Structure 1
């Protein structure tokens, strides 16, 4: 049985952890991921050391990715570390690479799929390095067993003496035969040594030819010495053909690995594109027959209401209600698919004006629920897309007044706070807090996925796509989304976007 890949996932953003975890689970099986959200958890994990790779954010509440990287490398120098962040800078990336970071990925809607690719790339590179190290050890043992050729030549380049190993390397039987080979320009080597500062020594790799025409690589070390007032060149000749072949093999392995990564990335991107186009096409094409079903059912209800018995009338009403529900689901799917496909423009947006429009737009629903919405003005501006931000706020407010206990008047509070950024300016975190039924902690990381329903449709009707639209819309605007909640104590959803003043710089 294959042992699971053990990983540390260090990110204090629950939604980001969930997205990264989902992509990792798609790529690695079996997989054992430990989510780290505090310094205590990290210290315990490092003390145990039961992990194979690390994925970390840069800006955390309690430290930075650079500190984590340095700590990991201090204890486990060969452990692959990938940084996945939207708050780092080019300087941070350079510094991280100096500390041994394996890959640096900027967070974005289409970047989550790159995390498992980067992890696999780092793991394969570590394996390749280990193989290369083992190969180097084997080569070193081999080289230790090989005799090293020793020779001495004069200023004219003639060999004066040599040992047996030297003659064997050249494939000759005598010094005189070696002098006739012209195997190397020793006169030029003497001239080069004369122009060097003490110690007058030179080491280089050379391609040589034996007496039978066989080519081999050798490490040639030459030193200028004086023997009885005569300048001579003393040399060592070592066969390194195996090492050079290993270097060629390593380069080919690197090229093959890079090609595999590029092919896999292209395949993943193509698959995602096909899936998006399929979902868009299906959602769009199904609406036409669905409208026909609604229309015919409504006609039957209106034209035959007096002749239908109670059971038939109930069935037709259920057809109309379910068709309407399915139509809403199709619209949500189209919206979700469109958010993944369209190009969007970001600009400074006044959140207060957008929120006022949203409240006016859903006013009838608010009155029907007798909901009260408190907005703590002023709200700072953000860098966003107005239409997408409107859609996000509508979904959050509608959910806030929908998921309340029976007999409880919905109370919603909206406020914002500016948060200092790391090198890219400030961000704005917008909160929508309700007095609803709350969300269990073990379900909070799943609610932003499409079709996630925590309750029966009879209790709280919906499509399960609303919060997925919120998450995708916020990500497309370069932001983050999350929730803080406890069962029976309401929920506090938050959306964090770049500050509006950044666009004016």
Structure 2
């Protein structure tokens, strides 16, 4: 740590203050210590607020460590406070920890060495809590912007939590009003889901009456889950009133067109093709939106629950020498969970950008683009000792260079990641021309994919392995599929478990 560390040392014993400063300088050369001997100095320091951490004795001539702790936490809730004392009891230590004390070090010769370590851990914990708070704010903001209602309820219809869109969609003001109104008839859905085999999940379009009496159509997706031994119902609800009205209008239009079929046959065929395409687009949009909403309510909350659980353990446990390794392990797992959630957010934003961004297409030389992509991946390929074989020349295609680089990067990254331990990654790349398309092949010697999963892997948040074994967000291949489809192509895979995989991309061919 190179920045100046500002610390309050609150102790009416000058020898103990000097001892703390001496021990801290062993690990923090840039320390700036402010020594507090009496009440006036303490009041002035708290008012100025120019400190990063406080170390206090318990028994002071003008106060107690508990009072000092309360005063600092009241003004600066996130400021770490450590008690360094040879007085007090176990009950006092427990009370202090419950009041927000970050650690407790006894004034014993064999404990002095723990002071720098205790300070460092407290500062690291403060940083982690700040990052977790910022991440939670970002995620909560994302949930609040969704136009899809998200809720969790007990089987008896008492709601546990929901996002603002849920209350707005049903015309409600609060969770208690939602529980009392029973607009969704939760007990009935609970009875139905209980009879279903796992996964106990149901989707349907229903018409319901809002709290203000207005009739709306909604698409309801609801599932029966178990959280900490308690059965709950998790659901998504989307207003599809506009779409249902559009479908009714389309049906009426079809009836009118049927009456004129003999006179306007060609026009009817065009209209019907347009209608089919519209319905397909609506179905695809609903499918993507449902997958996105479910992932937000489930996958993104998983690392936050881990952060909350391990943070609670750290706050409740008393510090001891034997617990230090456990505490460091918890901190590392909290950091990993934070990084996992951040990666999920970034990949979700990238997937959303692919869905809406304008995508100009042009003729692209795959040989040049592949060399450019491999240069960008050179460090990772070298680190994994991967070997790449390209059967030149590669064909030219019509595509968007930025998106195509991203698609190929995801495929190559997966190819060198999903290999058995001790196996050197080997990649083979070539192209074939067929029916107006160029098929780009990427073959690997990885762990392979069972046939039943070969279509599912291109869906959002579809993971076949745990995060600990093969890290990742589960969105990479969904980005590949979305990017290729936006460029007018298709994507697929041929694979056998334990025998590697051959991914292929079909893109429009360039005609000279």
State the TM-score, normalized to the length of structure 1. Answer: 0.41
TM-score by length of 2: 0.41
Structure (1 or 2) with the larger CA radius of gyration: 1
Q: Which has the higher contact order (CA 8 A, sep 6+)?
A: 1
